[in-house]
């Protein structure tokens, strides 16, 4: 892959595969978490997967260390089983109720699937022993389609987190003033991305004239935790 392709393509799976070999596992997990959070917007407030995503988010740095991974896998397995049962059960509902039931169950399955990846899973699903071949095929189709849409719809977030691998930026020590670091920490902790233009001003006052850094802070976004500029100020890999 060359820089032109990196900047132009919307194929997130390809971009993520390229970036994953060049950035930390933390950044890959933060991107996946951002995708899971976007999917969860389609769930009801009481859905168990929403609670699981929020729990992972509170322990996001690192997202899934060795001690956390077994617990997260167990919780994600439970969420996957629940959403699968809801999806298969919805097939028996009346026609008027099926669509919403399928949509909700699919959202839950996709979010749980992404969380399983964060927790170290490599298999996307295991549908053996659930329903017949037709319902399994339906489940596989819906979840795979949702998984792909969850990733493909967030190419801007991937670029926000990874930056441009072809143009790595070294953050000079003098840029990391107490004001800049405090702003970056608040943005990271509170997800206060509306303060990024203020961070740009602070960096500029500290002598930063890098066009990519300043343009990213003053751009429209969207932004996510793990933003390459915020991480650069904080010294996070």
Query: Which has more pLDDT, 189 or 106?
Result: 189
152 and 178 part of one domain: no
Question: Could you write out the DSSP letters of every residue in 64-106?
Answer: S-TTTHHHHHHHHHHHHHHHHHHHHHHTTS-HHHHHHHHHHHH
Which among 156, 180, 199 is the end of a domain? 156
121 and 179 part of one domain: no
92 and 185 part of one domain: no
100 and 12 part of one domain: yes
126 and 210 part of one domain: no
Which among 119, 134, 156 is the end of a domain? 156
Query: Which has more pLDDT, 5 or 83?
Result: 5
- Please tell me the predicted confidence (pLDDT) of residue 160: 96
Over residues 56-96, the pLDDT tens digits come to: 776 656 554 555 566 767 777 788 788 777 777 766 565 55
**Long-range contacts, 19-27 (Cβ 8 Å, 24+):** 19/158, 19/162, 19/165, 22/165, 23/162, 23/165, 24/237, 25/62, 26/61, 26/62, 26/63, 26/226, 26/236, 26/237, 27/161, 27/162, 27/226, 27/231, 27/237
Is 164 among the domain residues?
no
118 and 201 part of one domain: no
Is 128 among the domain residues?
yes
Is 163 among the domain residues?
no
pTM: 0.80
Q: 222 with 156: CB under 8 angstroms?
A: yes
d(CA 203, CA 215): 12
190 and 121 part of one domain: no
d(CA 224, CA 234): 15
121 and 199 part of one domain: no
The pLDDT of 194-211, averaged and rounded, is 97
Is 82 among the domain residues?
yes
124 and 204 part of one domain: no
First to last CA, the chain: 22
Over residues 147-177, the pLDDT tens digits come to: 778 888 899 999 999 999 999 999 999 999 9
Is 31 among the domain residues?
yes
Q: What is the total count of domains within the chain?
A: 2
Which residue has tokens 């690192």? Answer: 62
Is 202 among the domain residues?
yes
Q: What average pLDDT does the structure give for the chain?
A: 82
151 and 173 part of one domain: no
Which range of residues forms the domain containing residue 131?
Answer: 3-156
182 and 150 part of one domain: no
């Amino acid at each position: 892959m060359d820089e032109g392709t990196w900047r132009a393509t919307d194929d997130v799976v390809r971009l993520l595969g390229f970036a994953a070999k060049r950035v930390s596992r933390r950044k890959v997990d933060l991107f996946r978490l951002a995708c899971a959070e976007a999917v969860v917007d389609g769930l009801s407030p009481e859905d168990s997967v929403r609670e699981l995503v929020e729990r992972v988010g509170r322990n996001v740095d690192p997202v899934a260390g060795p001690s956390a991974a077994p617990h997260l896998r167990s919780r994600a397995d439970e969420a996957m089983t629940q959403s699968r049962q809801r999806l298969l059960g919805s097939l028996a509902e009346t026609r008027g109720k099926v669509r919403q039931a399928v949509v909700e169950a699919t959202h839950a399955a996709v979010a749980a699937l992404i969380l399983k990846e964060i927790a170290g899973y490599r298999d996307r699903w295991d549908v053996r022993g659930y329903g017949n071949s037709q319902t399994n095929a339906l489940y596989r189709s819906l979840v795979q389609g949702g998984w792909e849409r969850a990733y493909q719809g967030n190419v801007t977030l991937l670029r926000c987190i990874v930056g441009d691998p072809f143009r790595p930026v070294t953050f000079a020590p003098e840029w990391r003033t107490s004001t800049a670091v405090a702003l970056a920490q608040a943005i990271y902790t509170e997800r206060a991305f509306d303060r990024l233009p203020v961070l740009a001003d602070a960096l500029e006052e500290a002598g930063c004239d890098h066009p990519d850094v300043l343009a990213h802070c003053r751009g429209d976004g969207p932004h996510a935790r793990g933003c390459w500029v915020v991480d650069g100020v904080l010294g996070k890999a």
